Structure 1
Amino acid sequence: AAHDLRRKGYKVTVFERDDQIGGCLVNRIPEWRLPQRVVERDLSVIEALGITVRTGVEIGRNVTLDELREGHDAVLLLIGYAGARRLAELGVGIRRRASGTLVVDPVTYETGIAGVFAAGDAVSGPATVITALALGRSAAESVDLFLAGEDLRSGRHAPIPPKLLWGLEVPEEERRRRVRQPVMLTPANEPMTEEEVLGEGERCLDCECGLCVQDCEFLEASCESPKDLARMVLDDFESPETLKMVYSCNICALCDTVCPEDLDTGAMLLDARREAVRRGLGPLPVHKGIVSYFNAGVSKAFTLVKSEPGRQRSKRLFFTGCALPAVAPANTRTVYEELRRHYPGTGVLMYCCGAPVELLGMDEEFEKASEEILRQAEAVGAEELITACPDCSHTLKSSVPELKVRTAWELLAGVWQPPRLREGAEVAVHDSCKVRGQLDVCSSVRTLIKDGGATVEEIEYNGEKARCCGFGGMIYPVDPELSQRVTRRRGEESELPMITYCAGCRMALKGTGKDSIHILDFLLDPDWESKSRENPPGGLARYVNRLRTKWAFKRMKPLENR
């Protein structure tokens, strides 16, 4: 921590309780585990960087935390596990867990006292040197951001597995101690006896935090934990019941977002779908309509690649996807017109991104679609795809990494002024589950809504915690009841009309009676409230609309000749 802050140009003072710096590196860890020459070499950097060192200083004995805070712009407590226990006894205003470690923000390492941070074993409890260094480095980054007056949380995550920060407390009367404590100061311990091994095993709490199950209709209905789900899949993979379960997950990754260990159950089930396809068991018969829809989306009848009218080549292409042209051909053309106006040289590519077959586990078809998208983009010299669908954006970023992918909302926010027709309107926004990690997209959508005059009331599960609309993972034909439960749960998060920026999400929400509207209809339709209650086009109409959109694009003229 001192090294990093000094390298950033700050004047750093290290206060050390003992007569030399190093703490447990010098005093506790034996030579055979951590050679002294390595410690001395690393600590020599402190003096070389001009960091001030004051030894023989201990909080509560010859200096108080208040005095340290008053005399410095920021204070970082790296006092070890024992030091944390002593500090807590002083009652300095920093909370501690029953284990004795200090309670801090797991991302920023703020203690609750302005300008005071803590890290290392004082926070994690006894851990490895590497873990302590990682925590110190992350805390130093927070100090730097704090002193610069910047946001301490933006784009950051906890640097170590969050299990080290859990507040799992077991009452003392129920606690079962280790049968035999390992002796860390000896190179090797005596082997455990069979009785000791059995005793250790009986201490296991078999912990399951259940956060993913609490937040997921599918997991709640299917299992008690992801571990149970994995066992069911492995034990009876080819049974109709198991295959239905495998194809009933939205693959929305909310489980990964809320899990302290980043366990993505959806990724596991997507692998299971791929295995089902390899064995000839998937996709299921009920997926026939989805496969047909995809096949149309990559056929010559419904696809088009075209440079901007009047140009031979285009640096970027508006990637329409399947859904928006199918439900709103006029709005699809409007987005393209605005992109052309503000970003000259924008062509158009009508093609399916491949998400439907990817989510069914059909890797061969998905790879062919990805290769064709890249080939068509290269044919007109395009280096970038502009999407208006979160699912397309999410899919293309991984399937065609050779191309830059951005959304139309990011490009148009701040440069396109939609008609200011929505003064006084109050709405909620449904963020697609595919925008996690793309918070700029969420922000851009809200900018456009506010530029139209409306006010946005935020709901709990948005942005990084956005819930699925219910259509994700192609689950509707497999378990329509579950799909609608997911959709209703999402719609019930707000009594206000919901704005979506995914045509598929809007179809899902309206399918359960929720007043909802695509952002383009909200901004452009004269009677948006009636539009929010209007049902989306039926199946045949969607195919016709895609053809209408294609022919409208083919008839477009250069901007200067209109």
Structure 2
Amino acid sequence: MSHKDIELSSEFEKIVDKCYNNEQPPCTCACPFGLDITEFISRLKKGKFSSAYSLYQDHVLFPEIVSRICDQPCQEKCFRKGIDDAISIRKLEKASLEFNFSNAPKNLNLPQKNSKIAIIGGGVCGLSCTLKLASHGYHVTVFEKSTCIGGSLENVLPSDIFLTEFHDQMQFISYELLLNTEIKNIEELEKNFDAILIATGKNGNSFDLLNGLNSESLGSQKDGVFLAGGVTGTLNPIRSIENGIRVSQSIESYLQINRMHEMFFVNKAKISRLKINATRINSVKCIENSTYTETEAIQEASRCLLCNCNECIKSCNFMSYYNKTPKALAEDMKNTLNGTLMNVDKRMINSCSVCGSCEAVCDEHIDTGKYLLEARRLMHQKKILPLAFHDYFIRDMNFSNSDSAYLFKNAPSYEDSEYVFFPGCQLGASDPRYVELTYKYLLSKNPKTGILIGCCGVPAQWAGDVNLSNKVIDRNCDVWTDMGKPKVIFACPTCEKTFASRLPEAERISLYEVIENWGLPETALESQKKVSIFDPCASRYNENMQTSVRKLMKRIGFDLVELPYNSKMASCCGNGGQIYATNPDLFNSSAKRSCELSENPYITYCINCRDIFINMGKPSYHVLDIMFNLNLEPQLPLSLSRRRRNREVLKANLLEEIWQEDYMLDPSEQKLIISEELLQKLNRKLILDEDILNVIEYCESTGNKLLNPKTGEFIGHLKQGIITYWVTYKVEDNCYRVSRAYSHRAVIDGE
């Protein structure tokens, strides 16, 4: 199936171009040879000296010379210089020479080409160009007017060192060297050679070709003639070697396409855009020895940060799990939407918790989650999004917004409201008392406070279902309008964030700011216990909410210890984006990672965070536990069905206690017998008691079931929506003892 009509926002592709990942670090950009210094040092860190030397040799051509005289511009750009000491690059270069197996170059033995190149000058620039071109199979002739090669190197190194190095590095190439041969004009050379390099050194003969020299390609205005090295004004032998390498590329390009000044793979004087967050880097001083042993070289190499911007991968559970940068994700999204990748990438797109941590740590503010969410919307629109990923959460949202649980009322005796309390759908699901006690507190402080209980619509938003999300939000907006457009009090950061994006005209305030301003409930605990506040990811940019929670906890007496990820850098508990059904492994690793941020008990103000941490065995409390003295002892996780029932109970209790309205709550007849072990499994599989009972009642009423004569158990199945449920059960005294249940989304032939 092709989906080529689906296009992700072009804005994202433009934005990810700003990503620093794989941007060359400043040290590599400063290196005249463009040596990949992080790769060089990475090999040394692993003790791979020969591999590191090979990389170094390929780039600098004459490693013995360069390692002795390089002025180390890379070291000046090292990020560590501003923390402790820059990496000792030259000492590491020398270590690669000393501890590798062989300093001999590779013998490529390439076939000879027909082109002939003349190089005027046997200095380090001319010889660098010679080595590059001759190793590629070109016929090279070097004309040197003196009796010895090396040129300006005589001023900085003993001749035996550089002559030995020239011999060693050029031993496998074939070229002609003519000493005592001065070229006074180039007309004759132009007749016999396909290209000419003038590398006559400082104050050497330029043959009047410097005027109009292209500083990038080093090509003159005369076709086939190039100038490089000291004759062009290079300041030292290192720059002359770089010139020789660069001009060899220009000459080869000219010979291939017969055009001057068109170079391939040349990146001169590149400026690095890379930035590094130094706040979490430990200071480690360099090893001061003049030369390094193998062990010392590995230790010094280990100080290198291997600079690459991966802040989003380090902070984001999703990106860390897939080890993908925004650029890689953008490509995967595009291919998935065009039908060129498999379902695994659909799973990946639906595994983002949309928590915003990637944007928070990114200097370019790239919000990858925003575009993953856009990809979900496009997939839903074209009916290629696996609905099973979000099925349970959509059904749960629909239940919260059904007549069984949805409630909106102005306060008794009032026709409109000054405030309206919006607790969200999960607070009452966890414990109806959270909402009941909070609302009674609010009424005691301001009698003109209404209530609106339902879901904000974010499950549909996370599922990419725009129409359903709009339907839920529009309904809540209409109710808000009918109540007199009151100021909305939010207990849930996600609800507040959802309303802010869709109903910005509504005045919003967090419940915790209200309690801070209106005063603590009489039931509020006092404690000097050491705790850490876990900021929900949805509160990332809600500074008022975060601050008010801290003030409340300090007022009570808690000793607050901040987590390493807090406020704008808040971590995700794993609940966001409805990733549980899509990627349980990622959900569990995210929750575990968040639990391990501190040994202290957590206080949070998102009920999903609190419940997830409790289920993981992490001592955690909601702010309302502290305010109303609730749930302070360890508890067993609630079943999904109990969470539904709690919402029904909440609505009934409020109508009866606050408005004195008779409300007939459907009786909760317990017809299923389920062990605690199986119950926990059903929770993990997102299977409700209702789903199981529907299967059993269908099997009993239709006879579509199979009997296992050995166990006396029946097994049957029923497709409910897009999911097929299977149940194994026994009939016992008008009840059903369930021993097994599972679900899948495969289609059964014939049904």
TMscore range, shorter length: 0.5 to 0.7
For residues 193 and 392 of structure 1, do their structure 2 counterparts lie closer, same or farther at Cα, with a shift above 3 Å needed? farther
C-alpha distance in structure 1 between counterparts of 2:373 and 2:631, whole Å: 41
SS at match of 1:467: coil
Tell me the equivalent position of 2:461: 358
Count residues with an aligned counterpart.
380
Letter in 2 for 1:548: V
C-alpha distance in structure 1 between counterparts of 2:635 and 2:553, whole Å: 20
Does the alignment pair 1:309 with 2:412? yes
Letter in 1 for 2:326: P
C-alpha distance in structure 1 between counterparts of 2:593 and 2:401, whole Å: 33
SS at match of 2:514: helix
Letter in 2 for 1:412: I
Tell me the equivalent position of 2:721: none
- For the Cα contact (< 8 Å) 1:497–1:516, is it kept in 2? yes
1:472-507 CA distance string (max 9 Å, x none): 110011111111111111111111111111111112
In the alignment, structure 1 segments of 5+ residues that lack a partner are: 1-96, 105-171, 181-191
Tell me the equivalent position of 2:652: 551
Q: TM-score, normalised by structure 1?
A: 0.63
SS at match of 1:461: coil
SS at match of 2:518: coil
Does the alignment pair 1:535 with 2:602? no
- For the Cα contact (< 8 Å) 1:302–1:547, is it kept in 2? yes
1:329-386 CA distance string (max 9 Å, x none): 1121111112222233110011210011101111111111111111111112133221
C-alpha distance in structure 2 between counterparts of 1:224 and 1:201, whole Å: 29
Structure 1 counterpart of 2:482, from 379, 396, 399: 379
Tell me the equivalent position of 1:227: 327
SS at match of 2:563: coil
SS at match of 1:352: coil
1:113-169 CA distance string (max 9 Å, x none): xxxxxxxxxxxxxxxxxxxxxxxxxxxxxxxxxxxxxxxxxxxxxxxxxxxxxxxxx
Note the aligned Cα RMSD (angstroms): 3.1
- For the Cα contact (< 8 Å) 1:427–1:496, is it kept in 2? yes
Spell out the pairing of 1:64-463 with structure 2 (5 A cutoff): 98=76, 195-196=262-263, 198-200=265-267, 209-237=309-337, 238=339, 239-418=342-521, 419=523, 421-463=525-567
C-alpha distance in structure 1 between counterparts of 2:631 and 2:397, whole Å: 33
Letter in 1 for 2:461: E
- For the Cα contact (< 8 Å) 1:417–1:451, is it kept in 2? no
C-alpha distance in structure 1 between counterparts of 2:415 and 2:264, whole Å: 74
- For the Cα contact (< 8 Å) 1:409–1:445, is it kept in 2? yes
C-alpha distance in structure 1 between counterparts of 2:400 and 2:502, whole Å: 17
C-alpha distance in structure 2 between counterparts of 1:440 and 1:176, whole Å: 56
Displacement of 1:420 in angstroms is 5.2
Q: TM-score, normalised by structure 2?
A: 0.47
Tell me the equivalent position of 1:53: none
- For the Cα contact (< 8 Å) 1:318–1:347, is it kept in 2? yes
For residues 203 and 380 of structure 1, do their structure 2 counterparts lie closer, same or farther at Cα, with a shift above 3 Å needed? closer
Displacement of 1:210 in angstroms is 1.1
Does the alignment pair 1:482 with 2:582? no
For residues 227 and 350 of structure 1, do their structure 2 counterparts lie closer, same or farther at Cα, with a shift above 3 Å needed? same
C-alpha distance in structure 2 between counterparts of 1:341 and 1:524, whole Å: 15
Q: Which has the larger radius of gyration?
A: 2
C-alpha distance in structure 1 between counterparts of 2:260 and 2:272, whole Å: 21
C-alpha distance in structure 2 between counterparts of 1:526 and 1:291, whole Å: 29
SS at match of 1:301: coil
C-alpha distance in structure 2 between counterparts of 1:526 and 1:259, whole Å: 39
- For the Cα contact (< 8 Å) 1:315–1:346, is it kept in 2? yes
1:29-60 CA distance string (max 9 Å, x none): xxxxxxxxxxxxxxxxxxxxxxxxxxxxxxxx
Letter in 2 for 1:348: I
Letter in 2 for 1:491: C
Does the alignment pair 1:505 with 2:588? no
Displacement of 1:526 in angstroms is 6.6
- For the Cα contact (< 8 Å) 1:422–1:523, is it kept in 2? no
- For the Cα contact (< 8 Å) 1:359–1:473, is it kept in 2? yes
Letter in 1 for 2:514: L
1:207-252 CA distance string (max 9 Å, x none): 6511101112221221342111211222234421010000001110
C-alpha distance in structure 2 between counterparts of 1:176 and 1:344, whole Å: 80
1:248-290 CA distance string (max 9 Å, x none): 0111010000001101111111111111101102253132111
- For the Cα contact (< 8 Å) 2:487–2:508, is it kept in 1? yes
C-alpha distance in structure 2 between counterparts of 1:253 and 1:542, whole Å: 28
C-alpha distance in structure 1 between counterparts of 2:492 and 2:422, whole Å: 9
C-alpha distance in structure 1 between counterparts of 2:381 and 2:658, whole Å: 47
